[in-house]
Every structure is written in C-alpha cells, then in structure tokens.
Structure 1
Amino acid sequence: MKVKQFSLAAISAVTLACSASFYSAPANAWGKTGHRITGKIAQAYLSVEATAAIAELLGPESLAEASTYADEMRSNPSEFWQKTANPFHYVTLSEPHHYHEHDKPAQGDAMSALQDFTATLQNPDASKEEKQLALRFIVHIIGDLHQPLHVGSAALNDRGGNDVKVTFFGEPSNLHRVWDSGLVDHQQLSYTEFSHWLQRRITPDQAQRWATPDPYTWIHESSQLRDDVYPQTDEPYLAWDYVYNYTPVMKQRLQQGGVRIAAYLNHVFASNSN
C-alpha cells in the first residue's frame, strides 16, 4: 500500500467529505492532562537519537506540550482542521478486537493518519513545519489509541460511548467523557504530579514488555478493555465504585501510552538514521 504524506499544500487544498462515523463531534482522548502525562512519561524513555531529532524539530517544546496540539487546533477555521483531521483521533472496528484494512474509512482514521504522518516524518524532502505537525500528531494519536473508547465498535454504533449517558458524581455526562477526563481529573493532580507518580511505578520489566511500536497491539488491547468498561444498568450513576474499579486500568493505559510513544519514536528515528 502506498502511504500518502501530509504536506502544508495538501492540508490547505484537500477536500474530504467526512462520512458517518462513531464520532460526529470532537472527542479529546484523555483530555489535556492525560495527554500531557503520556508525553511526559515518553520523554524518559527516548533514545539518544530520538531525543536529538525531536529537539531539532521542536526546540524547547516538550512532548507533553506537543501532545495536546492536535486538540488545541480544533477551532482553527482551515479546512484541514475542520474536516480532514477530525477522524484522526479514533478507529472503528468491524470485528470485536482486531483492526483490518477494510476498517479504514475513505476519510481516514487514527491508523491511516499514523502511517501518513510517519511517512512525512521520514521524508527527507518534507519541510520542518510539515515534520513538526507530523510529530505532534503522532504523539497525540498514540495517546488516543490507548484510551479504550477511542477504539470503537461498529456493532455498538454509539460513537465510542458518547451516546451512553451517565451521571458521574451527580453531574450529567457520558461514558466517553468519563474516560477522556473524568477518571483522570478525579485524581486532582497536575500532569507533572500524576506523571511522576505513574512513571516511578513502571518497573524495568514492564517498560521492556510494553515497548512495542506496533499500533495493532495497542488497538487490540484497547478493544478488549472497551468491552469491560460499559455500565450494566440503563441509567448508570457512576461514582466511587466505578472509580475504584477502573482507575487502575486508566493509570496503566497512561503508563503504556507513554512508553509506546517513546518506543514508536525511537523506532522511527532509528530507521531515519540508517
């Protein structure tokens, strides 16, 4: 399969009609705090080559800062941000737990965008600005794919839990929002505090086992977790029991997301140097 590369010219010129998907409205996996946690953790596991390449592209901008760029630009009025980039935050599976080529819609998804932005990052003819966009999106997409409800099910057809209305500690919400930000923000920690707590608990053995740059693995894991996080009542009131049961899952996915961001970028920039 020939992988296309995103260029600034293409971003301004491309017109893609976004067909129906399980998101008709923007969804920000993990929210800003969660994404920054994955970026902060990733920084600790970068290779020397990746660290140098990222510094050359982003200067003083950390991966924690870069991780939220794809959400912060959603209000940009350009066609790329208003139409083209919308599907790049999730995938929808036709089978329960495996991503296949036929799952990729015409407008693309997180998997196709990851491939495309990686090609841009490895393209010696791409401009620095194009590579900066690609790097920021890669960091964001890997975080997205570790949030279980950003790996949607075509059979459920509920927009990744956005259509599942819940009450979270007395406030109206939906299941997707609980996983994007509710569980994370309930900890009442800054991203630096939370990432420090999570990173120091990652053992060397875990870091080694988790360090796979294979997005099919991440998607498979999230899809299996996704099936377990749905409440079993029609009008669920989520509070302490739900937090108790799923905070360990949320924490591990943030840890794994951080390790995998580093593993993926280490692989990309090692390939570039060969």
Structure 2
Amino acid sequence: MRAVILGLAAALGLAAPAGAWTRPGHMVTAAIAYDEIIRLRPDLLTALATILDAHPDRGPFQVAIDRTTGAERARRMFLECARWPDDVRLSGHDHPTWHATLWPVITPDASAETRARLARRGDTPSGEALPALALNYAVLSDPRATPTARAEALCWVLHVTGDIHQPLHTGELFSAAYPTGDAGGGRQFVRDPLGDGPISLHWLWDDSVSRSGLAADADRKGRELETAHPRAAFKTSGPFTPDRFASWAREESYPLAVSTAYGAGVPTASTEAAAPAVPAATWQEIQRQAEARVALAGYRMADVVIAAFDAAGR
C-alpha cells in the first residue's frame, strides 16, 4: 500500500494548475459536513479533533481557532481543514494541480487544429483532482498511516471533494478566442455583481456562495443551505464508495459547466478592461446552481469522512 501511495504521489505534480471554491466557500461546505457528521456519527467527533491536532502546519489552525475551546474549537479546526489547501498555496504543502479535473468544452468555432489536438487526448481530463482524491482517501482510510499524514490527507479530501462539485473545476472552454483553453473560466472576465470590479468567470462561480471568512458566517450560510437544499432533495446522494468521485465530477459538474457556466449566455471579455456586466437573472441562476452544489458537496464530504474513519478503525 505504501509503495502504491508514494508512487502515485510522485506522479501528481505534472498538470497545469487551477483554482478552487474560495476559502469562504470551502468553509461553508465544511460547516454542512460537520453538521451532518454530528447528526449521523457524533461518535467520530473526538477522533476528528485528535487527528486535526496532529496537523503538521499549525499556524493557520491557530489563527482559525483563536481562543475558542471544546466543541467550538473542534468545529473551527474542521472548517480550516477544508480551506487549508488554499491557505498554503506557494508553500511546501502546496499541490497546485490537485484542485481541478478539466474536460474540454468545445465550441462550434474551434479550429480544426484545436479539435484534432483534443481528439488525441480523448476523455482524459487535465488536472489531478481525481488521482489526488484517490491518494488522500487511501491515506485517510489507512490504519497504518500516522496521525500527521491522516490530518493532511483529511484536508485534501475535504477540499478536493468540494472542488469537483464546482462546474468550472471540471470544464474548460476551447474556441476560436481560446484555442489553448480558458483555464476553467480563468481567462474570461466579467464585472463583479457584488463589487463592480473585473473578476474572472471562474471567480464569479467561486465567490457566488459566500465571501466572508468568519466561521460564524460559514455556519450561518451552511445552515441556510441545509434548509434550502436538504439532503433528501438530492436523488444522487447515496451510500459512498470511492469509485463515485469520478462520477461526481464527470457526470454532474461537467454537464453543468457545459449547460450553465458556459452555455447560459454569460457575456464575457478576454481582458479585464472590457469585462461586461452579468445580467441579474444570470447571476441569480449561477447562485442557485452553486448553492445546490455546495450543499451536496457538504453532505458527501460527511459520507467520505465517515467511510474513511470507519475503514481506519477511527
């Protein structure tokens, strides 16, 4: 097992980087997941806190917990864990290729050369989110793994599970204007509906659920989404097995990238200076879709954590 994990880990640093739900968005998914763990398996809370206390990068966690103790301290550590992979970008803990798995979205005006290049790629996505999930789930589930290794793996499992529920972490546009791809919306620009400055189409989706980094706001938004999007409303939510990671990305998020993120007629520009406004109805639809995906990601994150801790015997 260790040899397989190390070999896979060595292979994961090769693809182009991509972004993520913003830190507040990841905190909201974690708030939902934590509520679900409390509801389904409160017996795991002590084990979760013990694992997170072994995390090798203490700084961000100390900031997150502040002076809290007990249950609030444990909850804040869990929320920080989900956003930690973004907090450590450009550090020794960073894995920039682990945040996305991008399949091409090809427009009718894409050149023959672009089409031929993508045809040679087949259905292989760019980005390493799916192998990263497999790797980190294996570590988190392994009773022989050290608490430190499991703590870091837990953060990546939470984070990347959230990422693959964001449509623009699974789709990348190829067109006459973007023959080499738009980096999951990162090279298209719009006016920020909430701030009026230019932001990328990718960040429009990333920032659509929450922009507050406060734990209390993440908890509040999480409970709002639990009410608006209860678990029972999702037909796709069911018993977790590790082979479902790919279907969450390819069969759910990617079609939303095609139909909504790229297909809803969002006006964009290739430069920040020319970024157009987002129509109000379009912004409302993006928020609606993103909030549903965040809620579902939170429920599934709980399932993944429960399955991994059970496999490891806590």
CA displacement at 1:6 relative to structure 2? 5.5
Determine which of 62, 81, 86 is the counterpart of 1:66: 81
User: How many angstroms does 1:64 deviate by?
Assistant: 1.4
Give how far 1:52 is off: 4.2
Structure 1: state its 5+ residue gaps.
none
Q: Which stretch has the larger CA shift, 148-157 or 36-45? A: 148-157
Tell me the percent identity. 22
Say whether the 8 Å CA contact 2:142–2:311 is kept in structure 1.
no
Measure how far apart 1:210 and its partner are.
Answer: 2.0
Aligned to 1:205: 232
Matches within 5 A, 1:140-219: 140-153=159-172, 155=174, 157-169=181-193, 170-182=196-208, 184-185=210-211, 190-203=217-230, 205-206=232-233, 209-213=236-240, 214-219=244-249
TM-score by length of 2: 0.70
Unaligned runs of 5+ in 2: 54-73, 107-120, 176-180, 270-275
Q: 1:181 corresponds to which letter in structure 2? A: D
1:30 and 2:56 matched: no
- CA displacement 1:148-172 (0-9 Å, x = unmatched): 1011237562100001122223311
1:247-274 per-position Cα deviation (integer Å, ceiling 9, x unaligned): 1111101100100100111222233339
Deviations 1:175-221 (A, max 9, x none): 001011145339x9922221121123343523675245321232121
1:16 CA drift (Å): 6.9
How far, CA to CA, are the matches of 1:168 and 1:95 in structure 2?
A: 24
SS at match of 1:210: coil
- Kept in 1, the 8 Å contact 2:164–2:248? The answer is yes
Counterpart of 1:54 in structure 2 is 48
Whether contact under 8 Å (1:91, 1:109) holds in the other structure is yes
- Residue identity in the other structure for 1:222: S
Q: Distance in 2 between matches of 1:131 and 1:200?
A: 32
> What is the CA distance between 1:53 and its match in structure 2?
3.2
The equivalent of 1:249 in structure 2 is 289
Q: CA deviation at 1:73?
A: 0.7
- Paired residues of 2:191 and 2:197 also in contact (CA < 8 A): yes
- Alignment deviations for residues 33-67 of structure 1 (CA, whole Å, 9 cap, x no partner): 11000000001222245434323312435421211
Cross-structure match for 2:100: 90
Aligned-partner Cα distance in 1 for 2:219–2:26: 11
User: Is the Cα–Cα contact under 8 Å of residues 166 and 238 in structure 1 kept in the other structure?
Assistant: yes
Query: What is the alpha-carbon distance in structure 2 between the residues aligned to residue 159 and residue 35 of structure 1?
Result: 20
**Partner of 2:171: helix, strand, or coil?**
strand
TM-score by length of 1: 0.79
Aligned equivalent of 2:178: none
Provide the rounded CA distance (Å) in 2 between the counterparts of 1:145 and 1:74: 18
**The one of 254, 257, 270 aligned to 1:226:** 257
Between Structure 1 and Structure 2, how many residues are aligned?
A: 254
Q: Which moved more, 1:87-96 or 1:256-265?
A: 87-96
